[in-house]
Amino acid sequence: MTFKWIEKPSTRRNFLKGAGGISAGALAGFPMPALSQSSEVTIISDENNADALRILRRIAADFEKQSGTKVVINNMDHEAHKTAIRNYLVAGAPDVCFWFSGNRMRAFVTRGLFDDISDLFEKEKYKDVLGATTGAVTVDGKQYGLPTGGTMWGMFYRKDVFAEHGLTVPATWDEFLAYGQKSKAAGLIPVSMGTKELWPAAGWFDQMNLRINGLDKHFALMNGKMAYTDPVLKPVFDHWEELIKQGFFTPDQTSFGWQEAGAFLAQKKAGMMNLGAFVKATFPEQDLEQLTFAPFPKIDGALDRYEEFSVNSVHIPANAKNKAGAREFLAFFYQPENFGPYLEPGGNVPPRNDLPASKDPLVNAAVESLKTVAGTSQYYDRDTDPDMAQAGLVGFQEFMAKPERRDAILQRLEGTRRRIFKI
Amino acid sequence: MTKLWRRHRWWLTPTLLILPAAVLFSVVILASAVESLWISLHEWDGFSPMVWIGLGNYRELFADPQFYVSLKNNLIWLVMFMLAPPLGLAIALLVNQKIRGMRLLKSLFFIPLVLASVAVGVVFTWVYTPEFGLLALIFRTFGATAPAVLSDENFVTFAVVIAALWPQIAFCMVLYLAGLNNLSEDLIGAGRVDGARGWNMLRHIVLPQLTQVTFIAIAVTVVGALRSFDMVSVMTSGGPFGSSEVLAYQMFEQSIFSYRFGYGAAIASVLFVIMAVFIAWYLTRMIRADERGG
């Protein structure tokens, strides 16, 4: 018996040795493909527009031919990418990735996850062609990305619907209220709104706050420096409630996504809609020429005009393996003859001022409109802390459905603000 | 070597066979569950260093009105999902008869199980869409206006559960169909000799033989109700304003959208405790019942 007990552990050890050897062999048996890291640039994009993606791939192929550097593009679903980026920036960064400028970029910059590309700005003299848009990718005087397409937000409407019902574009609050009465009398929903995905309600809040309190106070709120219970916000919600009570918005709006709300506009069931030019995705091709936009009506006439202008961007992660190659690619990508066609399909406003006029009249109108704007915010969920944004989006959706709960909602948001900004 | 093998295979064989599953289970389930508990004691946004806050997340959770909304919705899910086993049994009894065309009917009832639950959710969302959804059209033919069920905070959870019940009933039906095929002919014959028919036959002869199946059906249904997530995500994203959120969805929302992995982990831990308690209670009850009557 003793003899056996001595032998058992030894065989167990042998067994373990064998098992260990097998697994080690398995690991060693599959050698990693010997890639020369320096001659490859990997890109993660989040392009939902098939045409834009095709052009991006073509640019990559051209770059490959010219430089001999292999380019690998991994395109992800736009929404999935928003969560994936937090993983891959830390765990396995590509050399180039697409993202959003402003506060969303800053969140990664402050954690040291985006590379400082001020040198590229210097070398290619981007500040000269970008002008004020440089600010969207600047943190503490350094640039961390290149602005790509911009989305200008406004009140979109159909020219033929306005002509048919004798409606005029409202420029002031009173005109807006009158427009609402008239469009309701014509059997239209004055403002198409779908809050199933939450954010459109927050965009509406931004527009009202910019028109009533201006940009500085808006950013004080976004940066957690102003309370949600602050009395300066009262007129914003008063005006908003007035619209809700008068039936300005789509009934049961929480059942509809923005695309369904856009379809109401396209199908001539609604008069206007607050969105970016991407609303054209809900329009049939032959109706596109009817689509146009106007700025959100003025409320406080003494205020300068501030608009929502969200700018996407492209970055080099701090953990990228081939930063030199990434810079070369970005410089190539950003040349007007490559960058211009890439922006065209999405209907985005070009950040470079040396691009030829777009074929899309909506883009050119937005470019013209931007010239008269005193300052821009990006969008509620891009300007404030993401945690705050989630609570705010839900709060605004609830307010639109149940305006009588205003105080409870604002109290709740204020509690969230205090937790997040540690007040 | 063969000698060694022969001497030791009494324990080597089972160990080797169990090892892959055990390793996988402990890494994927156990280790991550423990890590999740650990994370729930921290404030963590997913990539910054974790900050220890002890029970802070749990304190906040128990003061969070949304937590109670989610909990209430989980309860609604649980109660309504309990309809699935009896309805599944009823349909199984119906389609188990040897009548021409039953095979077709059987496969029709089987369909929702084949569909991805996300597809079921999307389809039901369309049905519920105000104004041009199927429900709205049906109401209109009777001259009524359908309520926008997915926009109403009182109806929304019920509407989502109904969508989720459809595949769940089919699942229970399949379980019971399998059970019905294994019924002992002898017992049924004996029952028939003793004059059992109809309800008595079902109650005293058939059902007792289906206890095992019922056990599985209820356990799976409970777990399905508690971990319900996909339907909520697809149909309402927890909306309107959080009124259809369940614990699993709230956990996802807090972790992924609000980047609060600590808080999300705390919700996960609470959900885990609820499930563990229920399953433990149910298992012991079943085992006791088994020992009593078998």
Test the B interface: residue of A252, A255, A269 with most B CBs within 10 Å:
A255
Cα–Cα distance measured from residue B192 to residue B182, given in angstroms and rounded to the nearest whole number = 18
> What is the model's pLDDT at position B258?
83
Residue in B with minimal Cα distance to A384: B258
Please, how many CA atoms are within 13 Å of residue B249, restricted to the half-sphere of its CB? 25
> What is the model's pLDDT at position A14?
46
> What is the model's pLDDT at position B131?
79
Contact at CB, A198 and B239, closer than 8 angstroms: yes
Closest approach of B117 to chain A, Cα-based (Å): 19
> What is the model's pLDDT at position A38?
55
Residue in A with minimal Cα distance to B64: A412
Cα–Cα distance measured from residue B88 to residue B106, given in angstroms and rounded to the nearest whole number = 12
How does strand B42-43 pair with strand A189-192? unpaired
Residues of B (233-272) whose Cβ lies below 8 Å from A = 236-237, 239-242, 253, 256-260
> What is the model's pLDDT at position A86?
83
Contact at CB, A254 and B151, closer than 8 angstroms: yes
pLDDT tens for residues B235-259? 988 878 889 999 999 999 898 888 8
Q: Which residues of B touch A86 (CB under 8 A)?
A: 46-47, 259
Q: What is the mean pLDDT of chain B?
A: 88
> Which residue stretches of chain A have pLDDT < 70?
1-38
Closest approach of A379 to chain B, Cα-based (Å): 16
Residue in B with minimal Cα distance to A408: B65
Cα–Cα distance measured from residue B282 to residue B294, given in angstroms and rounded to the nearest whole number = 16
Q: What is the DSSP letter of B50?
A: P
Nearest CB neighbour to B260, from listed A251, A255, A387: A387
Cα–Cα distance measured from residue A348 to residue A325, given in angstroms and rounded to the nearest whole number = 27
Closest approach of A188 to chain B, Cα-based (Å): 15
Q: Best-predicted range by mean pLDDT among A221-225, B222-226, B279-283?
A: A221-225
The answer, for B48 touching chain A at a CB cutoff of 8 Å, is: yes
Cα–Cα distance measured from residue B64 to residue B58, given in angstroms and rounded to the nearest whole number = 10
Contact assessment for residue B227 and residue B118, using Cβ atoms and an 8 Å cutoff: no
Contact at CB, B48 and A398, closer than 8 angstroms: no
Cα–Cα distance measured from residue B233 to residue A90, given in angstroms and rounded to the nearest whole number = 27
Cα–Cα distance measured from residue B70 to residue B226, given in angstroms and rounded to the nearest whole number = 11
Q: Which residues of A touch B126 (CB under 8 A)?
A: none
pLDDT tens for residues A72-103? 999 998 878 887 888 898 888 999 999 998 88
Cα–Cα distance measured from residue B176 to residue B221, given in angstroms and rounded to the nearest whole number = 13
Structure tokens, B53: 């806050």
Is the preceding omega at residue B49 within 30 degrees of 0, hence cis? no
Test the A interface: residue of B256, B258, B260, B263 with most A CBs within 10 Å:
B258
- Of B63, B119, B68, B83, give the one whose Cα is nearest residue B245: B68
Contact at CB, A15 and B12, closer than 8 angstroms: yes
Contact at CB, B46 and A86, closer than 8 angstroms: yes
Contact at CB, A86 and B47, closer than 8 angstroms: yes
Nearest CB neighbour to B258, from listed A11, A111, A387: A387
Give domain limits for chain B.
66-293
Give the CA distances from residue B128 to residues A97, A400, B155, in Å, rounded to whole numbers and listed in that order.
39, 21, 11
The answer, for B56 touching chain A at a CB cutoff of 8 Å, is: no
A152-309+377-420 to CATH, choices 3.90.550.10, 3.40.50.2300, 3.40.50.300, 3.40.190.10:
3.40.190.10
What is the CATH number that goes with domain A37-151+310-364?
A: 3.40.190.10
Closest approach of A352 to chain B, Cα-based (Å): 32
Interval B87-97 mean pLDDT: 90
Percent of chain B past pLDDT 90, that is, above it, reads: 44
Amino acid sitting at position B102: M
Nearest CB neighbour to A252, from listed B60, B151, B236: B151
- Of B87, B12, B191, B226, give the one whose Cα is nearest residue A14: B12
Nearest CB neighbour to B130, from listed A15, A255, A398: A255
Contact at CB, B151 and A401, closer than 8 angstroms: yes
Gyration radius (Cα) of chain A, Å: 26
Structure tokens, A76: 């992800």
What SS3 class is residue A48? coil
Contact assessment for residue A174 and residue A186, using Cβ atoms and an 8 Å cutoff: no
End-to-end CA gap in chain B: 46
Cα–Cα distance measured from residue B124 to residue A154, given in angstroms and rounded to the nearest whole number = 33
Residue in B with minimal Cα distance to A89: B47
Q: What is the DSSP letter of B98?
A: -
**Contacts (Cβ under 8 Å, ≥6 apart) of A204:** A193, A240, A274, A396, A400
Nearest CB neighbour to B150, from listed A11, A255, A386: A255
Closest approach of B257 to chain A, Cα-based (Å): 7
Q: Which residues of B touch A26 (CB under 8 A)?
A: none
Closest approach of A359 to chain B, Cα-based (Å): 36
Cα–Cα distance measured from residue A277 to residue A290, given in angstroms and rounded to the nearest whole number = 13
Q: What is the DSSP string of A308-362?
A: EEEEEEEE-BTT-S-HHHHHHHHHHHTSHHHHHHHHGGGTPBPS-TTSPPPS-HH
Tell me the H-state helices in A158-233: 159-164, 173-185, 199-212, 214-222
Pairs across A and B, CB distance < 8 A: 65
Interval B198-221 mean pLDDT: 86
Contact at CB, A252 and B48, closer than 8 angstroms: no
> What is the model's pLDDT at position A177?
95
Closest approach of A47 to chain B, Cα-based (Å): 20
Contact assessment for residue B237 and residue A198, using Cβ atoms and an 8 Å cutoff: yes
Contact at CB, A89 and B260, closer than 8 angstroms: no
Q: What is the DSSP string of A224-279?
A: T-S-TT-GGGHHHHHHHHHHHHTT-B-TTGGG--HHHHHHHHHTTSEEEEEE-GGG
Cα–Cα distance measured from residue A137 to residue A314, given in angstroms and rounded to the nearest whole number = 10
Cα–Cα distance measured from residue B110 to residue A414, given in angstroms and rounded to the nearest whole number = 50
Contact assessment for residue A372 and residue A305, using Cβ atoms and an 8 Å cutoff: yes
**Contacts (Cβ under 8 Å, ≥6 apart) of B216:** B175
Interval B109-138 mean pLDDT: 89
pLDDT classification of B1: cutoffs 50, 70, 90: low
Closest approach of B270 to chain A, Cα-based (Å): 21
Four-residue CA torsion sign, A372, A378, A380, A383: negative
Q: Which residues of A touch B151 (CB under 8 A)?
A: 252-255, 401
Cα–Cα distance measured from residue A243 to residue A237, given in angstroms and rounded to the nearest whole number = 10
Cα–Cα distance measured from residue A57 to residue A73, given in angstroms and rounded to the nearest whole number = 7
User: Which chain A residues have any C-beta within 8 angstroms of a chain B C-beta?
Assistant: 8, 11, 15, 83, 86, 89-90, 111, 113, 195-198, 251-256, 260, 386-387, 390-391, 394-395, 397-398, 401-402, 419
Superfamily for the B66-293 domain: MetI-like (1.10.3720.10)
Contact at CB, B237 and A197, closer than 8 angstroms: yes
Residue in B with minimal Cα distance to A15: B12
Amino acid sitting at position B41: L
Structure tokens, B12: 């080597």
Q: Which residues of A touch B129 (CB under 8 A)?
A: 255-256, 260
Contact at CB, A395 and B241, closer than 8 angstroms: yes
Contact assessment for residue A98 and residue A313, using Cβ atoms and an 8 Å cutoff: yes
Closest approach of A45 to chain B, Cα-based (Å): 20
Structure tokens, B289: 């019942």
Q: Which residues of B touch A197 (CB under 8 A)?
A: 237
> How many C-beta neighbours within 10 Å does residue B187 have?
14
Give domain limits for chain A.
37-151+310-364, 152-309+377-420
